[in-house]
Structures are given as structure tokens and as C-alpha cells.
A and B are shown apart, each in its own frame.
Chain A
Amino acid sequence: MIDVEHLSKVYGSTSAIADVTFSVEPGEILGFLGPNGAGKTTTMRILAGYLPATSGTAKVAGFEVHKDSMAVRQRIGYLPESPPLYPDMTVEGYLSFVAQIKGVNAGDRPQRIQSALTRCNLLEKRKTIIRKLSKGFRQRVGIAQAIVHDPPVIILDEPTVGLDPRQIIEVRNLIKNLAGDHTVILSTHILPEVSMTCSRVAIINHGQVVATNTPERLMTQLMGGSGYELEVEGDFESVQRCLQAVQGVTAIEPMSTDLLPQNRLKIKVVSGSETELGSEIATALVSHQLGLYEMRRVQASLETVFLQLTTEETPVENASEVEPSDEAIEETP
């Protein structure tokens, strides 16, 4: 539904994005994750047809965003970084205006407005002047204007900024509900938002996409497979010998023994990519009569993945190319 190939945007001598390539399948929610100034908003604006790219192509529903700008504009709903609102209008009046300029038929308009108001929980505020709304409600009106014409593609730039925790949950649920019927691309700084709402993530840094994959795969691939944290009775060498015999184990590392009873140790075991070795590890330890007191699976958090990818010197095109890193292993809560 969205195909971006080698997209670049240069302002004077500054490159905002360089060689950005990714695609979004119909019905998918893609999270666009990146630090400030990474090029998220520029990419969003190019996709929305607001800015022309310097080079490369971006297609929405098969239409090139610059050449077939009008066709693209008919098929997108766009929430910019700050909601584009007219403070002197009522919520309903504003949505009616947006529906008109988006080309919704007069006959369909009341139903579309009602639907957008309902989905964004704005029914009680429909007659309120936008100027009098709180920031959270304004953000919701911004989202409502992006969906009022029921576009197949929805582009949301930081949709949960300024919302309180309850509103954030509501907006996340709203975005999740949009999947399937709509293709959604959203940018955010908030990492849990991506893992909670998005089926795929593109991490962008310094204007380049450094990884694209599902949140789970990114987390797994970054640490090179599954990881386990064990509390075992015995000495490190015996445990190491025992676990090295298990096929698929790629690393065994001692952890801090503080606060542990004598003769107990904590170790970290990393297995090969996407293999589940929990059962084999437990069996090996028990068969070597090494007391197993605790065993839990650990995974790199998306935050770790994000920090790792956005602080690396060399960008990579796909998360599968990310080198395994033990530093990336972190306990899941």
C-alpha cells in the first residue's frame, strides 16, 4: 500500500533523509521510530504530499506522491505533528469542513462525522468550540480529521503527544482498531507505543532507516536469539561445561553473585537465533545434578534495540544484519 524507495530530501546542504526504503502492506500498522531530527516528520510530509522529495520515489496505493499528488491526497488521512485545527470552529463544524475539502459527498457526511466522533470519543464535545478544548481533546480532534473521510491510508505524526495516560490507551486502541480496514503509518518517540500498536517497526536515525521488522523479531534478532537467566548451584566451570554441550547455546556469561547464598551463581545463556532451548538447558542441568533454582527467559527491550541502533556508527538495512550483542540483553519486566 505504501512503497518508499531510495527516498532522499536535502535542504540546502543538509540531508534530512537519505536513501530511505521501506514498504507497508495493506491493513498493516507501521511504527516509525526515531530520535528527534531523525527525519520522521520529513518522511511523513513527503508521504502526505506536503513536501516533494529530492530523489527517490514514494507511492501510496500505487500513486506516486508528487506526480499524482491529488490521487494520493484523496486516499490519505494525515495528522501532522501539531493538529491542524481552526480554534474558532466547533468540533462538528470543523469535521464537516474537513470532510468537504476531502471530497466526502454531502449525503455521506453526517454519517462519516458521527463515526469519527464516536471512534475518537468526541461525541460529548461535538458542539464545543475547539479553542475551549484541552490539549488531549484537540489531539483527538486532529485524529478525527485524519479518519473522517475513511481513507485507506492514515499517516499519524506523533498521535499521542499531549495526551494523559488514559487517553493514550484510548488512542492506541483506536489505532489498533484501524488496522485491517486501513493501512496506518505512525511516528512516535514512545517505545511501548510501538510494541503495543504496531505490527512492524521501522527505526530511523540520521535520515536513514536502520532496521525494519516486527517488534518481537527486532528484539530477538538484536540479542542473537533467545536468552535465559539462570540461578544454579555449583561452580561456574561445571555449569559452563554442562551447558556448552547443549546444541544451540552460543554464549554463557557469569552475572553478579551478590545477595546469593553460597555456592550459587547467576548466569546468562544466549541461544542461537530464534531457537527455544529452555527445555534442553533445564534437562542438561538436572541430568548433571546441578541444582536449578530459577530460570527465566529474557529479551532485549525495544528501548535497548532503539538505543543500540540509533547509537551505532554504521547503519544497517535490515535488522537481520544487526550483530548479536550481549549488552543488549535485558530483563523483561
Chain B
Amino acid sequence: MKMLAYNVLAIYRRELQSYFASPLAYAIATIYWILAGILFKAAFDGVIDQGNYVDLQAQSGVPISPIDVPYELLRTYLGVMGSLSLFVLPILSMGLYADERKRGTLELLATSPITNWAVAIGKLLGVLTFFITMSLPLLLYEAIALNGVDPPVPLSVILLGHAGLILLAASVLSLGMFVSSLTDSTILAAILTFALVLCLWIISELAKNFGGIVGDALFNLSLLKHYTNLVQGVVDTSSLVLFASYIFLGIFLTAQSIDALRFQRS
């Protein structure tokens, strides 16, 4: 166990170092910040407009339920950040194994006394840490907007929303890592990952066309549904289990895929 942790740490540090040394990663981070800024402003304006509308309706004597503007802002912003992540995360995960295959370094990892599991976990933690680091500056927007609101947004809601974003990112990156292990083309890995997570994102919409058990099952596989739960501040065990399952599945399939690759390599 100690050896596993030691190996995971070695892979984690190398992976993290490679992101911080990559011009592509900085380019992605820059685009991510710009888009996140635009989306935050759009969410902010939208929620303010909504608040003004509710005020106007209330002053006109039209019965309308009041809205919690700070909470709505957080919910809307994290909602669009989830959608933005669907585009950004496949680009971060595309090279996880595809680059190793292309460079021939997979041969180094596969002939070292380190398990496929340790490599996959280390890589996932590395890319997830980079994503979290990349997202940290964005907290500034929220801090400015939510600073001094009365009543304050409960800390648990803020934390749960961001934990949801991290869990969503970990799930997408884990599945993306598996897709990346199937090909040595980074572009193909990014496209396939995007297609896969898009299906899992909107599967709840598709599920409406199916009835019965199949419909229910598909509905429960939806990333959007479970992410929305967490962003709304609802602690739902099934959401946590689903994200954990996607993360585990991605790691498991990656480990299996690397083994299969070695068996099939010609």
C-alpha cells in the first residue's frame, strides 16, 4: 500500500509538472478564464434582471414568489461552468495516455514495477489538480459578487456546489483518460471524450423518450441531473455514488485497456 502511494505520488508529480510546462495548458487556461468571465457576467446580469423583474411584479401587486438573488447567481453560474467544463475537460484529458503512446513512454511505465492502477490514479489526480488550480482564480468573481450580501449564502451551499464541479470534472477526466488510452491521437481522444460526456450530460433528456425501467436507469446516469442536485445544495447519496462510479469506471477501464494494449500490440 505504501509502495502504491509512493508510485501514485511519482506519477502525480510528473503529470502535474507536464501541465505546468505545457504552453497548450496555459492557452486552455486563458480561454477558460475569458469564457468563465463572460459567462459570469451573463449570469450576473441575468439574475439581476430577474430580481428587478420580481421587484417590479411585486410593486405592481402581482403575486410572485421572491427569489434569493445570491443563491440564484451561484446556481446559474455553477450550472454554466458545468457546461463549459464539458468542452474544456476533454482537452485536458486528451493527452493523458495518447501522448504516452505517441512518445513511447508507455513502454517505460509498462516495464517499471508500477501497476496500471497506480499510473491511472496518479494521472487522474494530476490533471484534476491542474483543473482545480485553473479554476481557483475564478473564485475571485464569486467572492466579489457574494461579499457582503445579506443574508449571506450558506457556506455549505457554496462548498457543495464547488464539490459538485470537482466531482463532475473528476468523472469527465476519468472517462476521458480511458478514451485517451484507446488511441494515440490526442484530437481523436478529445472528440470522442466530448461525444461521450455530452451523451452522459443530456441522457436525462433522452430518457424522457423512454418509459419504465430503461427510462429511469438512463435518467439516473445523467451527469447533468446529479450535478444540478449538488449545485442546488442537495446532498443526494445517489449523486455521490454515481460520480464515484464514473471515476472508478474510468480508472478501471484505463487499467484494463493498457493491459489489453500490451496483449494486442503488434
Chain A residues within 8 Å of B10, by CB: 97, 100-101
Q: A50-B110, A73-B112 are in contact. Are A100 and B266 (CB under 8 A)?
A: no
User: In chain B, what residue has the closest Cβ to A131?
Assistant: B21
Q: Does chain B have a CB within 8 A of A49?
A: yes
B113 touches A73 (CB 8 A): yes
Query: Which candidate, B11-19, B76-84, B232-240, is the interface stretch facing chain A?
Result: B11-19
B18 touches A101 (CB 8 A): no
- Categorize the interface residue count of chain A: 20 to 34
A102 touches B103 (CB 8 A): no
Chain A residues within 8 Å of B265, by CB: 50-51
A88 touches B108 (CB 8 A): no
B113 touches A102 (CB 8 A): yes
Q: Does chain B have a CB within 8 A of A86?
A: yes
Give the distance to chain A from B97, nearest Cβ to Cβ, in Å: 14
Query: Which candidate, A77-85, A268-276, A308-316, is the interface stretch facing chain B?
Result: A77-85
Pick the residue among A50, A52, A85 that contacts B111 (CB under 8 A): A50
Q: Does chain A have a CB within 8 A of B104?
A: yes
Q: Does chain A have a CB within 8 A of B107?
A: yes
B114 touches A101 (CB 8 A): yes
A101 touches B262 (CB 8 A): no
Give the distance to chain B from A10, nearest Cβ to Cβ, in Å: 10
Q: Does chain A have a CB within 8 A of B109?
A: yes
> For chain B, what secondary structure do more than half of its interface residues adopt (helix, strand, loop), or is it mixed?
helix
Contact mask for chain A residues 84-115; partner B; CB cutoff 8 A; 1 contact, 0 none: 11111100010001101111000000000000
Give the distance to chain B from A259, nearest Cβ to Cβ, in Å: 54
User: In chain B, what residue has the closest Cβ to A73?
Assistant: B113
Give the distance to chain A from B195, nearest Cβ to Cβ, in Å: 29
Give bound CA distance, A303 to B126, whole Å.
50
Q: Does chain B have a CB within 8 A of A76?
A: yes
Q: A11-B266, A51-B265 are in contact. Are A101 and B7 (CB under 8 A)?
A: yes
Q: Does chain A have a CB within 8 A of B65?
A: no
A52 touches B263 (CB 8 A): yes
Q: Does chain B have a CB within 8 A of A70?
A: yes
Q: Does chain A have a CB within 8 A of B3?
A: yes
Pick the residue among A12, A50, A89 that contacts B17 (CB under 8 A): A89
Give the distance to chain A from B180, nearest Cβ to Cβ, in Å: 16
Chain B residues within 8 Å of A70, by CB: 113
Chain B residues within 8 Å of A49, by CB: 110-111
A76 touches B111 (CB 8 A): yes
Pick the residue among A12, A86, A97, A101 that contacts B103 (CB under 8 A): A86
Chain B residues within 8 Å of A85, by CB: 103, 105
A51 touches B262 (CB 8 A): yes
Pick the residue among A84, A97, A98, A102 that contacts B107 (CB under 8 A): A84
Q: How many residues belonging to B are interface residues under a CB distance threshold of 8 Å?
A: 27
Give the distance to chain A from B253, nearest Cβ to Cβ, in Å: 20
Which residues of B in the span 46-104 have a Cβ within 8 Å of any Cβ on A? 103-104
The CB with the most chain B CB atoms within 10 A, among A11, A50, A74, A101, is that of: A101
Pick the residue among B3, B7, B22, B105 that contacts A84 (CB under 8 A): B105
Give the distance to chain A from B153, nearest Cβ to Cβ, in Å: 41
Pick the residue among A52, A74, A82, A88 that contacts B22 (CB under 8 A): A88
Pick the residue among B22, B108, B113 that contacts A145 (CB under 8 A): B108
Chain A residues within 8 Å of B111, by CB: 48-50, 73, 76, 78
User: In chain A, what residue has the closest Cβ to B14?
Assistant: A97
Pick the residue among A76, A89, A103 that contacts B3 (CB under 8 A): A103
Q: Does chain A have a CB within 8 A of B26?
A: no
A103 touches B108 (CB 8 A): no
Q: Does chain A have a CB within 8 A of B210?
A: no
Q: Does chain A have a CB within 8 A of B141?
A: no
Contact mask for chain A residues 2-14; partner B; CB cutoff 8 A; 1 contact, 0 none: 0000000001101
Which residues of A in the span 244-265 have a Cβ within 8 Å of any Cβ on B? none
Give the distance to chain B from A231, nearest Cβ to Cβ, in Å: 55
Chain B residues within 8 Å of A88, by CB: 17-18, 21-22
Give bound CA distance, A58 to B75, whole Å.
60
Give bound CA distance, A86 to B19, whole Å.
12
User: In chain B, what residue has the closest Cβ to A129?
Assistant: B21
The CB with the most chain A CB atoms within 10 A, among B11, B107, B109, B110, is that of: B107
B109 touches A101 (CB 8 A): yes
Give bound CA distance, A45 to B103, whole Å.
17
The CB with the most chain A CB atoms within 10 A, among B22, B113, B262, is that of: B113
Q: What are 5 A-B residue pairs whose CB atoms fall within 8 Å in the complex?
A: A45-B107, A52-B263, A80-B107, A97-B13, A101-B109
Chain A contacts to B: CB under 8 angstroms? 11-12, 14, 45, 48-52, 70, 73-74, 76, 78, 80-89, 93, 97-98, 100-103, 145
Which 5 pairs show the lowest CB-CB distances between chains A and B?
A: A84-B108, A100-B10, A88-B21, A73-B113, A84-B105
